[in-house]
Copies of this chain bind each other. A is one copy, B any other.
Amino acid sequence: MSTHTLPEQIANSLRRDILLGKLAPGTSIKERDNAAELGVSRTPMREAIRILAKEGLVILRPSRSPVVADPSLKEVTDDLAVMSALEVLSGKLACANATAEELDRIAALQDKMLEISGDANSLDFFETDMAFHRAIAEASHNPALAETHGAYIARLWRTRYLSASQRSDRARALHQHGEIVRGLKARDTEFVAREIESHVQHILINISDLFEERDARRAGRIPDSTNISDI
């Protein structure tokens, strides 16, 4: 394997650890320790950390250990606002530029989500969800857009995963995906834009609930800035 460079592989490994919670938000990432753990030197590890920093998953502080990002609700909301604009643009462009094969692939991902929507394993379901959104961005035939959109997907991955794991609004999400697919196939630009905007809107609502719930749970705890650190 390894069609990728070493720093990318390391970044992938770290990313998985972060997104699955093995590296909790706020944890400091020591170059030496993590490098030794993977049997590499500090140089590629440093580069990997920069890759994750660019994605917003870790925060770089000059002359201090990088830490796993722990976004506040405000930051997540800000990210989602950008993400919404990027995905609406993706949807519009996809209406104009997507090939039949690309639309089929998007529809297939939606079908797969419907299939496994009853399963317990929320990771499979969620990864298909992310692939669905990514496929729309790629169907825009605008590589810069797809890349920037992908960065926001990565940045929001963990929070959205935690939110999706609550399974609270899965039915609505599936329905909205269906509408988006329908609109894409009809090449109805405005309809797709509206549906995507609404979809992201509901993602934000669910995430807000997650934060509120967590805030409520730690009632008497330190009322610091409201991050998702201690679940």
A interface residues, Cβ below 8 angstroms from B? 5, 43, 47, 50, 54, 56, 62, 75, 78-79, 81-82, 85-86, 88-89, 93, 142-145, 148
Contacts and interface: CB of A to CB of B under 8 A. Distances in A.
A85 B78 contact: no
A89 B93 contact: no
A78 B141 CA distance: 9
Contact of A81 (B79, B82, B145): B145
Contacts of A56: 144
Contacts of A148: 82, 148
Given A5-B62, A62-B5, A148-B148, A142 B54 contact: no
Contacts of A145: 78, 81-82
18 contacts: A5-B62, A43-B43, A47-B50, A50-B50, A54-B54, A56-B144, A75-B144, A78-B142, A79-B144, A81-B89, A81-B93, A81-B142, A82-B86, A82-B142, A82-B144, A85-B86, A85-B88, A85-B89
Contacts of A89: 81-82, 85
Contacts of A47: 50
A144 B54 CA distance: 11
Contacts of A144: 56, 75, 78-79, 82
Nearest to A4: B62
A143 B54 CA distance: 14
A56 B144 CA distance: 9
Contacts of A75: 143-144
Contact of A143 (B62, B78, B142): B78
A54 B56 CA distance: 13
A156 B25 CA distance: 34
